[in-house]
């Protein structure tokens, strides 16, 4: 297999779908992690218009730690090398839902699943040097006013639609914190890791929100929240030579402007605390 390989989560719609097409056009073989078989099959069919390379589908629910770990092992065994991992799949839930494993679904999908998937692929990425990891965060992270890692990872309290924004923001702040701590633990000459704010994107807008489908159609008609803009920064971090030696950054959809992690999660000390709390949480889970 001579082509570079890019694995993308959440590639069947929105930002991930656009990023998959752009990376395929650049010559990458695409591996897509997806929950829906029908959407995955549609992605494969549509990508045939831009690439002759096979498109590989890995089915998993990244809201489940067991799925994230097993699909990571499956991906590692499927390729002789892995050049790019894009952790794009995400969720804004407007009411609390708890997974079968006992975690808040939004925390599991937005943070724990990507963390576990990345850990499962670290060895493969390192052996494929130079390789890149791109994590999709959000400026919604600024809605998070505080963080207590050990408690927040386990928190499953009910919340209102209004309260959901700060909780969603906290999961995205965790993504930035994890990215920057992971960068300190990786050799940037082997694997870089960066995250981005893709801006406002209408696709998949608040699937739980009443009337969201109608609102999305209106925004699409007006050209507001075009996912091609948000996908652009993902693709740049994944493939642009200008970012080849950059690691630990957080970049805006607006001209790749560097951003800072919001203050509650900015210090290396609290980022390390989140890492350690996450590893402790995962270590106490029963074996799959």
**Catalytic site residue 111?**
no
pLDDT band with cut points at 50, 70 and 90 for residue 207: low
User: pLDDT tens for residues 192-204?
Assistant: 999 999 996 545 5
Task: Average the pLDDT over each of 55-59, 204-208, 217-221, 278-282 and give the range with the smallest value.
Answer: 217-221
The predicted-structure confidence for 139-182, as pLDDT tens digits, reads as follows 999 999 999 999 999 999 999 999 999 999 999 999 999 999 99
Q: For position 119, what pLDDT does the model report?
A: 98
CA–CA separation, 44 and 154 (whole Å): 37
CB of 183 within 8 A of CB of 193?
yes
Tokens of residue 8, six digits: 């993308």
Catalytic hit among 28, 111, 168, 250: 168
Predicted local distance difference test score (pLDDT) of residue 226: 66
Predicted pLDDT at 215: 39
For residue 288, the model assigns a pLDDT of 57
pLDDT category, 223, cuts 50, 70, 90? Answer: very low
Q: Following DSSP, what letter does each residue of 37-92 receive, concatenated?
A: HHHHHHHHHHHTTT-SS--EEEE--TTSHHHHHHHHHHHHHH-S---EEEE-----
Q: What is the mean pLDDT of residues 108-117?
A: 98
> What's the average model confidence in pLDDT over 32-58?
96
| Residues 191, 178: Cα–Cα separation, whole Å | 15
pLDDT confidence bin for 209, thresholds 50/70/90: low
Q: Determine the pLDDT at residue 216.
A: 46
254-268 average pLDDT score? 97
pLDDT of residue 228: 75
- How confident is residue 221, by pLDDT bands cut at 50, 70 and 90? very low
């Amino acid at each position: 297999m001579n082509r570079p390989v890019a694995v993308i989560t959440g590639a069947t719609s929105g930002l991930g779908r656009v990023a998959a097409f752009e990376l395929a056009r650049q010559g990458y073989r695409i591996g897509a992690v997806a929950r829906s078989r029908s959407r995955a099959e549609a992605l494969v069919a549509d990508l045939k218009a831009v690439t002759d390379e096979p498109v590989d589908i890995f089915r998993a629910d990244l809201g489940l730690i067991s799925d994230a770990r097993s699909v990571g092992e499956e991906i590692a065994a499927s390729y002789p090398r892995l050049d790019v991992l894009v952790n794009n799949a995400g969720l804004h839930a407007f009411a609390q839902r708890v997974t079968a494993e006992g975690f808040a679904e939004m925390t599991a999908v937005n943070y724990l699943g990507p963390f576990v998937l990345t850990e499962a692929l670290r060895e493969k990425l390192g052996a494929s040097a130079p390789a890149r990891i791109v994590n999709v965060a959000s400026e919604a992270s600024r809605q998070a006013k505080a963080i207590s890692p050990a408690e927040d990872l386990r928190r499953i309290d009910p919340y209102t639609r209004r309260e959901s924004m700060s909780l969603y923001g906290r999961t995205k702040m965790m993504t930035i914190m994890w990215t920057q701590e992971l960068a300190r633990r990786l050799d940037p000459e082997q694997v870089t890791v960066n995250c981005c704010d893709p801006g406002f994107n209408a696709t998949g807008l608040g699937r739980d929100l009443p009337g969201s489908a109608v609102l999305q159609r209106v925004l699409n008609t007006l050209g507001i929240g075009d996912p091609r803009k948000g996908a652009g920064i993902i693709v740049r971090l994944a493939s642009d030579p200008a970012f080849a030696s950059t690691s630990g950054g957080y970049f805006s959809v607006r001209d790749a402007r560097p951003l800072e992690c919001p203050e509650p999660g900015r210090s290396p000390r609290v980022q390390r605390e989140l890492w350690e709390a996450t590893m402790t949480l995962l270590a106490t889970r029963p074996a799959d």
